């Protein structure tokens, strides 16, 4: 009985953690969407640059 209560408490705590993370993620997403276009463009360029760098590294690994 006691073990079941403990498990239920753990589950509730985990669900609360997940909900908190989801809210944090939603906030970040909303902030990104609310930013002016040029910042969005800038972020996009940085991300594209990172992706290019990673895929270049990947190609080097595959070739060698």
Which structural domain, as residue segments, surrounds residue 38? Answer: 2-63
Over residues 14-28, mean pLDDT: 89
Residues 6 or more apart in contact with residue 32 via CB below 8 angstroms: 40, 43
Instruction: For residue 36, give both structure tokens.
Output: 């002016």
Give the helix ranges, DSSP H, for 1-64.
2-34, 37-63
Instruction: Give pTM, 2 decimals.
Output: 0.44
Maximum separation of any 2 CA atoms in the chain, in Å: 59
Q: How many domains does the chain have?
A: 1
Average pLDDT, whole number, for the chain? 80
């Amino acid at each position: 009985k006691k073990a079941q209560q403990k498990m239920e408490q753990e589950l509730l705590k985990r669900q609360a953690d997940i909900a908190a993370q989801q809210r944090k993620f939603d906030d970040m997403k909303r902030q990104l969407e609310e930013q002016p276009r040029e910042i969005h463009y800038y972020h996009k360029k940085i991300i594209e640059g990172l992706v290019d760098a990673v895929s270049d590294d990947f190609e080097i690994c595959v070739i060698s």
